[in-house]
Amino acid sequence: MSQAFLLYYSGYGRIETMAQVVAEGARSARATVEVKRVPETVQADVAKAAHFKVDQAGGL
């Protein structure tokens, strides 16, 4: 069985959605997939002001 590690960063959630779709595609091909998000690099107040999606799952 194949294994995959999918590492992504998403500020607004669009890349998060794409990462989940890619992971599901790999799982449908019987791969074991681990999905992790790169931690936010900007300060919390900046992320909030820019309307970042800060409640994403899969953080490191």
In this prediction, residue 14 carries a pLDDT of 94
If one counts the domains in the chain, the total is 1
DSSP 10-55: -SSSHHHHHHHHHHHHHHHTT-EEEEEEPPP-S-HHHHHHTT----
> What is the tens place of the pLDDT at every residue in 4-53?
999 999 999 999 999 999 999 999 999 999 999 998 889 989 999 999 98
Higher pLDDT among residues 52 and 54, named by residue: 52
Is the pLDDT confidence value at 60 over 70?
no
Would 9 be classed as within a structural domain? yes
Q: Does 28 reside within a domain?
A: yes
Residue 27 lies in a domain: yes
Q: Do residues 31 and 3 make contact, with C-beta atoms less than 8 angstroms apart?
A: yes
Evaluate if residue 57 carries a pLDDT over 80: no
Q: Is residue 6 part of a domain?
A: yes
CATH of the domain at 34: 3.40.50
- Tell me if 24 is assigned to some domain: yes
The residue segments making up the domain with residue 19 are 2-50
Q: What is the pLDDT of residue 19?
A: 96
